[in-house]
Amino acid sequence: MLLKKIILVLLLFGSSAQAQVTFIIEALPSGTQNRDTIFVCGNFNNWVPNDKRFIVQKQLNGQLAVTVPASLTAFEYKFTRGDWMRVETNELNQLTPNRIYRSAQGNVVYIHIDNWLDLGGARPFNYIILFFFGCAFLCMVLCLLMVRTEKKDRKKLRSLIAINLLLVVLLLLVVLFEISNQIWQSYIVFVFHVSLFCWSTVLIYFFKTFTSSSHFPKLSLYFLPAVIAALLVLVRISNFSLFNFASALLWPPFTRVSILFIGAGFVYNLYLHIKMFQLFHFLNPSGTQERSESQHFLYYFFWISFVAVLLIPVNVGLVMLGFNHSFLEDFYLIAIVLSTLIFVETYFIWRYPEIIKEEKPQITHNFDTGDWPIKLDELMTSQKPYKNPELSLSDLADLLGTKPHVLSRVINDHHNKNFRDFVNQYRVEEFIALSKTPHFKNYTFLALAQEVGFNSKSTFNLAFKKLTNQNPRDYFKTHAPDWHEGQD
C-alpha cells in the first residue's frame, strides 16, 4: 500500500514537472517588423524581458508560438520585444495589467497583441503600394478593352488574360502584404511561393499562342512544380512538428523553407527562360532578322521577365549582406520590374491592335502588281465593303489579301485619290444609283446616306459636293426633280 502511494506521488510530481503551455500569437500590430524578436516573460522567469529561452518562434504554418513551463496553477506574463520600452500595450497605447494564465485555460492559449509601447500603433505609409494598386487597376482595364476588341483571336486573348490575371493577383497581394500584420503576411508569402513556380509556365503558354509554336507540346507537365509547391504549402499549414526545423531563421527574415522555395523557384524560372531563348530565335538581341509587331511585343515581354528573374538572387543577396530595408525584404524591386510589363502591353495593344486579332490566311495570287487595281474594283463592286461606316484601310487590305501600304499605293497611283476619297466615291455613286430605284424613293437624304455607309450628314454633303460639284439638293433638282421633291 505504501509502495502504491509512493508511485502515485512520483507520477503526480513527474506530470507537474513536465506540464507546459503553448502561447500562439494570432494577431500583431501592423507596425511589427519581420526582424523583431518577440519574448514572453513573467514570474516564471523573474520577469526577464529578453530571456532567450522564451523567444517566440515562427512555426511552419506561419504562426508565432512559444512554450513555457506551467507547473503552477496560475502565473502572470507579458510579451515584449526585448526590453520594457518595447512592451505590449492596449489599442490606446496604454500600459495594461499583466496577463494571467490559469490551468483551466488548457495547454494552448491564443494571444492578440494590440500595440507596442515604442510604436504607438504608428506605421509609416508606404506610397509605393499606390503604384502597385494603380498598375493592377490598369491591367484589369486593359483586359476589359481586349475582351471588347473586334475580330480578336480567342486563343491569344485567353493567354493574355491568364498572364494578366497572374500579374494582378501578385500586385494586389503585394498591396495586402503591406497593410497586413505579420501573421497574415506569412500566409500571403505562401501564395508567392506557389506563384513563383507558375510564372514561367504561363509565360510559355503566352508565347505558344502568339507564335503558333509547336514547342512545349506537353505544357501541362510544366505546372507540376507548382502543384508540388502547393502540396508543400499544405504540409506547412498543417504544421507537422516533424518539419519544425524548416521554420528556423537562417538570415532574418528568411527561414530555411523560404530559402528552399526561393532558390528552387529561381532555378526553375531560369531554366525555362533559357529554354525559351534557345527555341524562339527572334528573342536574340543581336539577331539581324526583322521582327514583326507581335514578335517585338514578345521580345520586350521576355527580356523584362528575364531581368525580374535575375533580380531574385540579387535581392536575396543584398538582404543577407545587411541591407535591411523593406523595399528589399519584401521584393518590391522585382514587383516594380514586373509592373513595367503592363505598360509594355498597353503601348503595343494601343499602337498595334492587330497583334491580338485573328490572323487571316494570306491569299496568294498568280498575277503581277498590274492586276491589283482590277481586283480592287471587282471587290468594291461585288462585296460593296464601303457600306461599312467603320471600314478602314487595314480592313479593306485584309479583304483584298494584301498589306495596307500596298493597297494605299494602288489607290494613290491608279485612282489619284486617298483612301477616304476613294471609298466615298463609291458611296456617292451608290447613293445616286439607289435614289433611282422605287424602293428608296421615299428615303430622306440622311437615311439613304447612312444606307450606303456614311455615318454623318456633314460628311455625306462634303463628299457629294466634292464628287459632283453640287450639293445633294441642287443635284437632284437638276437630275431627278421627281425624286427630290418632298424629300428631306
Residues 96 and 184 in one domain: no
Residue 7 is assigned to a structural domain of this protein: no
Lowest mean pLDDT among 180-184, 201-205, 219-223: 180-184
Is 202 in the same domain as 172?
Answer: yes
Same domain, 233 and 267: yes
Cβ neighbourhood burial of 453 (10 Å; 0-12, 13-18, 19+): buried
β partners of residue 115? 89
The answer as to whether 4 is a domain residue is: no
In a domain, residue 122? The reply is no
**Predicted confidence band at 10 (pLDDT cuts at 50, 70, 90)?**
very low
pLDDT at site 366: 40
Dist CA 18 CA 83 (whole Å): 29
Q: What is the CB neighbour count within 10 angstroms for residue 253? A: 20
Provide the mean pLDDT of the chain: 84
Instruction: Return the higher-pLDDT residue of 363 and 52.
Output: 52
Give yes or no: residues 451 and 376 share one domain.
Answer: yes
- Residue 362: its pLDDT value, please? 45
Last residue of a domain, one of 300, 326, 356: 356
Q: Mind listing the pLDDT tens digit for each residue in 345-381?
A: 999 988 888 888 766 544 444 434 557 788 888 888 8
For the record, the C-alpha cell of 215 comes out as: 514547342
* Chain center to CA of 202: 11
**pLDDT tens track for 88-122:** 998 888 888 999 998 888 889 999 998 998 887 66
Q: Determine the pLDDT at residue 122.
A: 60
DSSP 168-198: HHHHHHHHHHHHS-HHHHHHHHHHHHHHHTT
Domain end among 93, 116, 139:
116
CA distance 219 to 202: 9
| Domain-embedded: residue 45 | yes
CATH number at residue 195: 1.20.1070
Cα Rg of the chain, angstroms: 36
User: For residue 297, what pLDDT is reported?
Assistant: 92
How does residue 84 score in pLDDT terms, banded at 50, 70 and 90?
very high
Answer with the one of 116, 140, 173 that is the final residue of a domain: 116
CATH number of domain containing 383: 1.10.10.60
> Residues 137, 267: one domain?
yes
Whether 330 is covered by a domain: the verdict is: yes
Residue 85: give its domain's CATH number.
2.60.40.10
DSSP string across 211-273: HT----TTGGGGGHHHHHHHHHHHHHHHT-GGGGGGGSEEETTEEHHHHHHHHHHHHHHHHHH
Asked if residue 362 belongs to a domain, the reply is no
Same domain as 228, residue 248 = yes
Looking at residue 207, what is its pLDDT?
93
Do 183 and 109 share a structural domain?
no
Is 2 inside any structural domain? no
Do 249 and 346 reside in the same domain of the chain?
yes
Q: Is 189 in the same domain as 328?
A: yes
Residue 387 lies in a domain: yes
Q: Is the pLDDT of residue 2 over 60?
A: no
Question: Could you tell me if 376 and 337 lie in one domain?
Answer: no
> Which residues are paired to 24 by β-bridges?
65, 110
What pLDDT digit, counting tens, does each position of 402-412 carry?
888 888 888 88
Structural domain boundaries enclosing 343? 128-356
Do 183 and 52 belong to one domain? no
Q: Average pLDDT of 147-154?
A: 82
The total of structural domains in the chain comes to 3
Answer yes or no: do 98 and 148 share one domain. Answer: no
d(CA 398, CA 419): 14
